[in-house]
Amino acid sequence: MNKTFTTLLSLSISLFSFSQTQITNAGFENWGGSGSSAEPTSWNSNKTGTGLASSGPQTCFQETSAPHSGSSCVRVETVYYILAVVNGNVTTGVVNAPNSNKSEGFIAATGSDKLAFTGRPDSLVGWYKYTQATSGTGASAEQAKVYAVLHSGDYYDPAAPVNSNHSDLSANKIGDALFVSPAANQSAWKRFTIPFTYVNSNTPAFLMVNITSSNNQNTVAPGFTGSGSKLWVDDLEMIYNPVATSVKENDFTKNVKVYYYEKSIYVDFLNKTSETSMIEIYNATGQLVSTQSIDNSTVNTIDVSKLVSGIYMYKISGKSQGKFGKLFID
């Protein structure tokens, strides 16, 4: 019995994990450069941008004080510089500022400056904190943004050209996900989740992720003249729904009913016996996150309130009854 479940679960998790590409250095633990040129590995700020971008102020910082997890996270900060407000930014692409007209600025994923990515995730999740600017017109309307684009070939953000600043490569977009924070301070780490919207069934080749403390990389809130908005981001993760397997469940699985409601998983053995079984719960990467003995003679309640939202696999194994499957925990 246990051998059967081990085989079925291994196959299920193997298919579940197929093509589950993740973002490089998504926890912002690894950094390169020094001083004002320090940047997270595989990411870029304006300091490694083109045109006027690299001559601007530092807007991307390694934050080692109370990250969500690990030893560091990224902080981006909107800064006033000479005669203009420069948006805080960090991106997997390259920041381009061809001139002093902010509306012509853009982020490019071209040539070798593209992040390879072949998955089709269902959503992007992460953790953020945010502090709005404290002065200046429009400060109370400031919002942070995290934008992810799955694409083939080269891509620009914004996709629409302004004064012929770049070509129109919008046809290369396969899907995107957008998070815009509330126009309010967020002092404690808060989880965000954003679904991907796909425009076609193509397999992505690349991913662009753009993070900014002022809503978008071109302009801040309308009429905004202040600076100082700060955005902290940590632990980005792509979430995938399990791939349906071709394995047909044995008849004994019909004797066990499993469902989720209000932060708990319920297991009801329809063929009640005096036996005990074991339930194991695995996260999206196949890691065992919970295990518990359950009673075959009653309806069992498993508290999962400490688990983060997402798709989970479960395996129930016993002497004569068992089941495996998936659940979404919110």
What are the CA-CA distances from residue 267 to residues 79, 257, 302, 320 (Å)? Answer: 54, 6, 8, 15
Q: What confidence tens digit (pLDDT) does each residue in 133-173 have?
A: 876 667 788 899 999 999 999 999 999 999 999 999 999 99
Residue 9 has a pLDDT of: 45
Other C-beta atoms lying within 10 Å of the C-beta of residue 76: 26
Mean pLDDT of the chain: 85
Average pLDDT estimate for 259-284: 87
CA 76 to CA 80: how far, in whole Å? 13
Type of residue at 260? Y
pLDDT-derived band at 250, boundaries 50, 70, 90 = very low
CA 87 to CA 38: how far, in whole Å? 17
Q: Is the peptide bond before 158 cis (omega within 30 degrees of 0)?
A: yes
Joined together, the tokens standing for residue 75 give: 């902080």
306-312 long-range Cβ contacts below 8 angstroms, 24+ apart: 307/281, 307/283, 308/125, 308/191, 309/125, 309/191, 309/193, 310/125, 310/239, 310/283, 310/284, 311/122, 311/239, 311/240, 311/241, 311/242, 311/284, 312/281, 312/282, 312/283, 312/284
- Comparing 3-7, 48-52, 205-209, which segment has the lowest mean pLDDT? 3-7
Type of residue at 303? D
Work out the percent of the chain whose per-residue pLDDT is above 70: 84
Type of residue at 6? T
Type of residue at 40? P
**pLDDT greater than 70 at residue 18:** no
Tokens 């971008």: give the residue: 53
Work out the percent of the chain whose per-residue pLDDT is above 90: 52
State in words which class domain 21-238 has: mainly beta
- Comparing 9-13, 64-68, 261-265, 304-308, which segment has the lowest mean pLDDT? 9-13
Considering only CA atoms, which of 193, 210, 236, 200 is closest in space to residue 155? 210
Type of residue at 317? S
**pLDDT greater than 80 at residue 4:** no
Q: What confidence tens digit (pLDDT) does each residue in 113-137 have?
A: 999 999 999 899 999 999 998 766 6
Highest-confidence segment of 17-21, 160-164, 310-314:
160-164
Determine contact, residues 97/52, Cβ cutoff 8 Å: yes
Q: What confidence tens digit (pLDDT) does each residue in 160-218 have?
A: 999 999 999 999 999 999 999 999 999 999 999 899 999 999 999 999 999 999 885 45
Higher-pLDDT residue of 35 and 207 is 207
Residue 80 has a pLDDT of: 79
Determine contact, residues 129/189, Cβ cutoff 8 Å: yes
pLDDT-derived band at 243, boundaries 50, 70, 90 = very low
Q: Which CATH number fits domain 2-16+243-329: 1.10.3720.10, 2.60.40.3080, 3.40.50.1360, 2.150.10.10?
A: 2.60.40.3080
Joined together, the tokens standing for residue 329 give: 């925990």
Tokens 């005096």: give the residue: 274
Helix or strand holding residue 81 (H, E): strand 79-81
Cα R_g (the chain), whole angstroms: 23
Average pLDDT estimate for 42-61: 93
Q: What confidence tens digit (pLDDT) does each residue in 215-230 have?
A: 854 545 445 555 789 9
Higher-pLDDT residue of 314 and 255 is 314
* DSSP β-ladder status, 264-269 and 299-303: antiparallel
Tokens 């990250």: give the residue: 67
**pLDDT greater than 60 at residue 16:** no
pTM for this model (two decimals): 0.69
Average pLDDT estimate for 288-305: 90
Q: Where are the domains of the chain?
A: 2-16+243-329, 21-238
